[in-house]
Amino acid sequence: MSSETITADAAGTWKLGDHTVGRIGFGAMRLTGSAAFHLGTASDRERSIAVLRRAIELGVNHIDTAAFYFSSLRSANEIINSALAPYPDDLLIVTKVGPFRNYSGDWGTSARPDDLRGHVEENLRQLGRDHLDVVNLRRMRQDSIAEHFGALAELREEGLIRHLGLSDVEPRHLEEAQSIAPVVCVQNRFGLDSRTPATDELLRICGEQGIAFVPFFAIAGEGASQGATGAHDDAVLAVARAHDASPAQIRLAWTLHQGPHVLAIPGTGNPDHLAENVAAGAIELTDEELDTLNALHRQAD
């Protein structure tokens, strides 16, 4: 399929917080480098800026980022600021807090509740904003998220954050958070070959409650943060041939077919891959193809 003229409108829209966004968004993690959290080759800054601006031209109005997306040379938030400020009125920027990385890039223990104000303020500074549209609390294996989510709810009351979301959680964590403040989105790892019973249950619950479900690594397969996998099941390859599409596009299309509340945020530093990702929103899978791909998903760990 040709991706040259397909825009994000093809995938439809969803209400996330107080923004109506296209169901194909953009993940900023890979803007700064080529490997997991940018420990590999640094990106070309001007190319990353061009990719972001092209995403906006293609109708993308949902960008996922974090202050801890940085390398020794690049910061995703700084690139977003340089490329897109002053920001379009319809652009939703979603960031996340919870993991802790020092300025040398080393990972530390997870943030304490009283660290989160500083993390929010760092995102505000880097993005050049006076408020954050949505902040996701990334759970770092803690059993209860009440203290951390409560700290973010206080910042929401102060006006530094408009809406709150969750990442890497189980259904019980969503219920716990909702007893403190509204939740507009849930971000978990989920894809054609990536599943857990808890995440499948969250997908269902979010659909019933009108909460956006935002999978990460939806097309990465075994590659995870390293990037899209090169290994594909024969069934995926067959569906890709039938649509004159790439296997990554089929993985994205399958993800979007899981419900109207499912929003994809594929990331890339490659303008050609960007256009392909956006074009995946126009792929209509047949019932037979969905049955085949759903069976693959059920077999995944």
The greatest distance separating any two alpha carbons of the chain, rounded to the nearest whole angstrom, comes to: 53
Cis peptide, bond prior to residue 86, ω within 30 of zero: yes
69 is catalytic: yes
Q: How far apart are CA 228 and CA 230, in angstroms?
A: 7
Residues 280 and 24: beta-carbon distance below 8 Å: yes
Nearest to 150 by CA among 66, 161, 141: 161
Q: Which of 14, 26, 37, 69 is catalytic?
A: 69
Query: Given strand 185-189, what is the order of strands in its sheet?
Result: 26-27, 62-64, 92-97, 132-138, 161-167, 185-189, 212-216
* Residue owning tokens 């600021």: 81
Q: How far apart are CA 48 and CA 269, in angstroms?
A: 6
Q: How far apart are CA 191 and CA 186, in angstroms?
A: 14
Query: What is the token pair recorded at 130?
Result: 């006076």
Active site residues: 69
